[in-house]
Amino acid sequence: MAWDNQSGGTAWNEQPGWQAWNWWNKAAWEQQPWDAVAELASAGNAVDQLSPEQLEVARNLSPAEVAVLNSVKWRIDSASQAAAEGDWSQQAAAQSGQSGQSSESWGWRNAPGWAAWDKWNKAAWEQQSWDAVAALRAAGAPVDQFTPEQLSAARNLSPAEVAVLNSIKWRIDWAGGEVEGHSWNGLGII
Amino acid sequence: MDLASSSSASPVAVTAGRLRLKPGLQSAPRWAAPRWPPTVSAGSWPDQVSADWAYGGADGAGVRVCVLDTGVDGDHPIVGGVQAAMQVTADAAGELRVVPGEATDLAGHGTACAGVIRTVAPGCWLASVQVLTKGTQGMGDVLLAGLRWAVDEGYDVINLSLSTTKLALRNELAGLCDSAYFRHCVVCASAHNAPVLSFPWRFASVVSVASITPPRADGAAPVQHYYNPKPPVEFFAPGVGVRVAWRNGTMIKATGNSFATPYIAGLCALIMSKHPELTPFEVKTLLYHTAANVKRVAAVNGDDNDR
């Protein structure tokens, strides 16, 4: 499986922070059987809408890919929910137990390896002008149907996150049928 | 679902994929009468076209609407039954045929579309052709077979909340949509959710639809559709965060151009119910004139606030 990086690696997984991230996921991998589809479903992704061919693609997603996708979905969904229920930053502060607007202490960012991963993304962010929404749109994600709150959350996605999302979408779409209905579930990726 | 019982309110019955008059029915319904030559005259339109003139008081009665999708759950209370449920199967020779099937939905997508149509035009005659599978996806040949059947059967409105990016299907799809157009059948086709080249929504012979956020559900603003002056998408209708019928009698909140398209298809059914003589060109013109963002010159100049 592509996830088991025995072939010497690629530029992507040789990036700073990846080794620690990789180690953490490998440890988790060895402790319990990995079920990408179940993980996706538990996060609310509409996997039941996938064709058998697309499900096979989903089954082969790595833990890191699923973690990124579910994390992004959670943030987008939270933005949408906040728009309906109140101020997002207040909810985030309440959830993190802090009064500030920083999201650094949220649970998924405390995962081992995340700090280095995040640092690498921040460095990339600072080096160039980055438009996450444009990158998602170019890959065919229906960002034009996002609410303003969801768009705001999408703009904060890092280049690495968008690269993972677009890669997954490309593989899922490639495995799709010749004709497709035009409903949109979750992030429009899974 | 038992099709025989579900079609009891209809003047027709389905036999081996063809429509025939039920025993005891003396004459064909209005939609079954030949429409050629057209009966509309140049002077039959009012000086000012309004929504009330276009479809006020209509419920879609007499108009036959066909939904090509994942199937339709005829038992869903929002749908209220379907008068025909068809599916595309391959015979022993491998040739695709459209045959009667069960009024069930493999995904929920078709039920959602049918529910929107039934809500807008509760009196219409509703049929389903299953061309998509569980994953809301399907094969091009199956879509072509289903669409060809619907056009040949003379449906008044065809709802296509789907598209294909396969260029190999383009010409045949375009030919079928042209045939529908000249047979006075309005094809309502959903634009792709992503900015990609797909068909048939980009054809001029169809009514192409994309979605917008609906007005408040508390009745403060009426549900409306909008004209897009920058085609190929011609009309916008509610399709973002809308509550739609789904599998197993449930309702979900969904987003997609798929759910805006049946709203326009329902409007077309209302228009054709009130004005059965109109052609697809004229129906599209009425959609334009009744769009919320299209005002009469007099109204723009402040002489008249009524559209």
pTM of the model: 0.69
B301 — pLDDT class (breaks 50, 70, 90): low
pLDDT tens digits, B263-282: 999 999 999 999 999 999 99
Residues contacting residue B168 through CB under 8 Å, at least 6 positions apart = B140
CATH number, position B96: 3.40.50.200
CB B50 within 8 A of CB B307: yes
Portion 4-63 of A in contact with B at CB < 8 A: 48-52, 54
**Considering the domain boundaries, does residue B199 fall inside one?**
yes
pLDDT at B116: 97
pLDDT at A146: 78
Closest alpha carbon to B272 in B129, B144, B147, B155:
B155
Q: How far apart are CA B9 and CA B132, in angstroms?
A: 27
Report the Cα–Cα distance between both ends of chain A, in Å, rounded.
20
Q: For A46, which residue in chain B has the nearest alpha carbon?
A: B135
Residue of B133, B190, B255 with shortest CB distance to A145: B255
| Structural domain of B70 | 3-7+52-292
Q: Which SS3 state, helix, strand or coil, does residue B84 take?
A: strand
Cβ B162–A181 below 8 Å, yes or no? yes
What's the token pair of residue A182?
């035009």
pLDDT tens digits, B81-121: 999 999 999 999 999 999 999 999 988 999 999 999 999 99
- The DSSP secondary-structure symbol of B213 reads P
Alpha carbons within 13 A on the beta-carbon side of B192 = 18
Which chain A positions have a beta carbon within 8 Å of B210's beta carbon? none
pLDDT tens digits, B125-139: 999 999 998 878 899
* A137 and B CB contact within 8 Å: yes
Cβ A183–B169 below 8 Å, yes or no? no
How many domains would you assign to chain B? 1
pLDDT at A156: 93
pLDDT tens digits, B53-78: 999 999 999 999 999 999 999 999 99
